[in-house]
Amino acid sequence: MRLPLLSLILAAGLLAGCAHQPPVLAPQPLADAGAAIERFIAQRQLPGAALWIERAGQGSYHRAYGQRAVDPAPEPLDETTVFDAASLTKPVVTATLVQLLRERGQLDVEAPLQRYLPDCGGVDKAGITLRHLLTHSSGLPSGLPRSGPTGDWTGQAGAERTACALAPTAAPGTLFRYSDVNFILLGRIIERQAGMPLERFAEQALFKPLGMADSGYLPLQRIAAARIAPTERQPDGHVLRGEVHDPTARRMGGVAGHAGLFTTTADLARFARMLLAGGVAEDGRRLLSPASVALLTTPQSPPELAEKRGMGWDIASPYARPRGSLYSDTSYGHTGFTGCVLWLDPTSRSFYVLLSNRVHPAAGTNVLPLYGELGTLAAKAVGIAPAR
């Protein structure tokens, strides 16, 4: 039977329209990624998680799995859940703000630490630059002790005094050691150079311009506790919810350069798109210059070090497990102790986000194998094939 001419025209138009549809993410790797998360939930390595996978021009996949809380009562997780992002604070907030100040002429990343924090005196620190802090090659210890020069410390000023009293254990530029101390000092430098508290500068210069409406420090000041994923139960029975999990950041009042960011997968997706677009936000406004993006995301470590870091982002180090087996060597990212990952690949213009509260109701879980598995599956989902 012959089709009417109008039907033929319509059919041809539909076929033509289908031919011009953008490719979609591969469904099987997405299903496998969800199954991997569900498997770790069943093994009680985390109560729940939110996942976001995206490639420019191919769309995105995002979904929540499991529970937001299990103690004292189960609560279903949804995609509006706000998570404690732990050390994602370092690259997302602190490193980005350093570059914004550099562009304004208010910071020199090659300058010595002592130019901006004169009280970090002593010959042993004279050679430490902001570049060393940003690439974890300063030689400073990994964390702050509970007691400083004047006994037990509290507050941001106390943390700064304690950090400045620490002696490096290696000459600057000769050793890679991932260190919270580096970014605690950077956070204090940002506050001085910006002339305002870190949380306010982050809101004005980063979160608000990018439309990251649910991101920031001290979430209980603006977000209902019910939306926030709780973390660890404390020895006194108190469950942290909206209070930063990192004990050093908590002693600093919840605001620090190394931890304290609370955020969602949707907000981190906005941030990731900006980086992959060379510093341009979704509304077309430029947040960062191409030079700043390059400093953040390409190797900036001392050349003699095998571990390669940008000025904030991990590229090739023992912490780069979330890359998986398929993403390119130019991909970069970071993790957070609470069970968080943001990994980006400029070659394919793709990224994935995992946010979880694996430390709820208690620490001691291990999601590192999940990171590697998700990295490989995210790459497959966006169409990256194994090298032949």
Identify the CATH number of the domain in which residue 262 sits. Answer: 3.40.710.10
If one counts the domains in the chain, the total is: 1
Report yes or no on 112 lying in a domain. Answer: no
Report yes or no on 357 lying in a domain. Answer: yes
Per-position pLDDT tens, the chain of length 388: 344 443 433 344 333 333 445 578 999 999 999 999 999 999 999 999 999 999 999 999 999 999 999 999 999 999 999 999 999 999 999 999 999 999 999 999 999 999 999 999 888 999 999 999 999 999 999 999 988 777 899 999 999 999 999 999 999 999 999 999 999 999 999 999 999 999 999 999 999 999 999 999 999 999 999 999 999 999 999 999 999 999 999 999 999 999 999 999 999 999 999 999 999 999 999 999 999 999 999 999 999 999 999 999 999 999 999 999 999 999 999 999 999 999 999 999 999 999 999 999 999 999 999 999 999 999 999 999 987 7
Report yes or no on 138 lying in a domain. Answer: no
Q: Strand 59-69 vs strand 48-55: parallel, antiparallel, or unpaired?
A: antiparallel
**Residue-level pLDDT at 21:** 54
Print the domain residue range for 336.
24-92+197-381
Report yes or no on 146 lying in a domain. Answer: no
Report yes or no on 361 lying in a domain. Answer: yes
**Residue-level pLDDT at 9:** 35
Report yes or no on 75 lying in a domain. Answer: yes
**Residue-level pLDDT at 146:** 87
**Residue-level pLDDT at 22:** 56
Report yes or no on 178 lying in a domain. Answer: no
Report yes or no on 79 lying in a domain. Answer: yes
**Residue-level pLDDT at 348:** 97
